[in-house]
Structure 1
Amino acid sequence: MATILVVDDELGIRALLSEILTDEGHTVELAENAHQARARRERLRPDLVLLDIWMPEVDGITLLKEWSANGQLTMPVIMMSGHGTIDTAVEAVKLGAMAFLEKPITLQKLLRAVEQGLARPQARGAEPAAGSELPRSAPEPASPLPTLSVPTLSEAPTTSATGQRPAIQHFELDRPLREARDAFEKAYFEFHLARENGSMTRVAEKTGLERTHLYRKLKQLGVDLNRSRKGLVG
């Protein structure tokens, strides 16, 4: 796997990208400003850099220009911004960035851009990778309907190998719709977390939710992520 440097002044963005990329098996280093980014680039020589545009003091475009002018653009750079424009994206690509991602960044576009960036050597003036266009927000799937019974967390991935029948959880339908739906959704997400061994990346892909929305949903439902990550079921 690769060493990826994430440069962003927002703690939440750094933490989220770090967890996603670590889940994918990469080694992730973090920097919150241009000064830290310079130092970590020199020390680590990362395989790829995710660089935010809007940062205090020295912004991402200025840092990209500096690396390009000094012959330090030896790694693929993917620019990120929550307030990007077409002109900004074009400027970044002309300076040597290989892709431009607009925040909030969808999981699919992030992973695709990173994969393509790591698959080819950095080339100044290269065309942006597929998926680097300004993304539209992906529609969220409708909430699951309450039902009488579904497999619970006790249905571990190894049940088919052991020959054990999956446990069934029964829901009371004679209750307010919101309560019944929340109970179903909690069991649904706990089941998928157990089956994917706690990998938020794979659960997000499996359930069709963006990662940030998935985190909010799990917190709202009171799902114990630590328990899921340890693979404890039943």
Structure 2
Amino acid sequence: MANILVVDDELGIRDLLSEILNDEGHSVELAENATQARSARNAHEYDLVLLDIWMPDTDGVSLLKEWAMAGLLTMPVIMMSGHATIDTAVEATRIGALSFLEKPITLQKLLKAVNQALETQEPGGGPATPQPSLRAAPSSIPAPFPGEGGDIAATSGSGLAATTALTDAPVLLVRTMTPEKSLPSAHRDFDLDKPLREARDEFEKAYFEFHLAKEGGSMTRVAEKTGLERTHLYRKLRQLGVELGRKRGG
């Protein structure tokens, strides 16, 4: 797929973006500041750069300008920020940024932005053309894609209610979704004589293990399937004692 450089001074954002993009089949390199980003760009060609605006050493807009002046802006660049102003957005797009992602970044918004950037990249590695619509945003940071899905950096409990609501018919749900032989024997039946909390935890563990197995361990696709925001999904899986080891291959 694509070679992507993620530049962000927040470790949690770097790790999460890396995992999501790796799940999508991309090769991802990480930089925590402008110094590391410069070294990475000087050493490699990238198909896309995700660049944070506010960083401790050099801000992302200044780094973008450096690359443009040095002729190194040969790939689409998506800016990221939770505090940038409209003036910053206009300046970055004037320099050559393709689009913005406003933090907290939603899963669907990230994937759409990445896919669009890769599709608009000129054959042969030429710089992508900034989207005109980004220059005309009347207020706030331009957001080329409507917000949808769960936040990457923020938590939401809405998915839990949806999952909990399924506990009225746990056996029917599991048996309808897959043949019995494809599930561990412990997941084929549930002891309905247990207290509700224990029975619910048992069902939810089987539910998430089923989807992890079905999606080959991809947390991105499991989050989409189950309707849970990724941060909440990780906490839920750890709480239930679900094995998070990703199955690779195929």
User: Could you state the TM-score of these two structures normalised by the residue count of structure 2?
Assistant: 0.78
The 10-residue stretch of structure 1 (58-67 or 125-134) with the greater mean CA deviation from structure 2: 125-134
1:1-234 equivalence runs, <5 A: 1-121=1-121, 122-127=127-132, 132=144, 135=147, 138=150, 140-141=158-159, 142=161, 143-145=163-165, 146-147=167-168, 149-150=170-171, 159=179, 164=181, 168-172=188-192, 174-175=194-195, 177-226=196-245, 229-230=246-247
Deviation at 1:153, TM superposition (A): 8.5
Any unmatched runs of 5+ in structure 2? Answer: 122-126, 135-141, 151-155
Shift of 1:192: 0.4
Alpha-carbon displacement from aligned partner over 1:18-72 (angstroms, at most 9, x marks no partner):
1111111111111111011011112111000001111101011111121122222
> In 2, are the aligned partners of 1:77 and 1:99 still within 8 Å (CA)?
yes
Taking the aligned partners of 2:233 and 2:3, their CA distance within structure 1 comes to 26
TM-superposed CA distance for 1:124, in Å, is: 4.7
Between 123-132 and 23-32, the greater mean CA deviation after superposition:
123-132
- Provide the rounded CA distance (Å) in 2 between the counterparts of 1:165 and 1:125: 48
Q: How big is each residue's C-alpha offset from its partner over 1:161-218, in whole Å with a ceiling of 9 and x where there is no partner?
A: xxx486622143551x443333222221111001111111111111122222221221
Which piece of structure 1 moves more, 179-188 or 6-15?
A: 179-188
Pairwise CA distance, 1:155: 9.6
**Distance change (3 Å), C-alpha of 1:91 and 1:190:** same
**C-alpha distance 221-71 of structure 1, shift in aligned 2 (>3 A):** same
Unaligned segments of structure 1, at least 5 residues: none
Distance 1:187 1:102, change over 3 A: same
Fraction of identical pairs, as percent: 62
Mean Cα deviation higher: 35-44 or 204-213: 204-213
Question: 1: distance between equivalents of 2:2 and 2:204?
Answer: 35
- RMSD of aligned C-alpha atoms? 3.0
Q: 1:20 and 1:137, CA in 2 relative to 1: closer, same or farther beyond 3 A? A: closer
Greater per-residue helix proportion: 2
- The letter for the 1-side match of 2:105 is I
- What is the count of residue pairs matched by the alignment? 224
Give the Cα separation in 2 of the matches to 1:191 and 1:59: 44
Does the residue aligned with 1:169 lie in a helix, a strand or coil? coil
TM-score (structure 1 length as normaliser): 0.82
Structure 2 counterpart of 1:132, one-letter code: P
- 8 Å Cα contact 1:148-1:172 kept in structure 2: no
Secondary structure of the structure 2 residue equivalent to 1:223 = coil
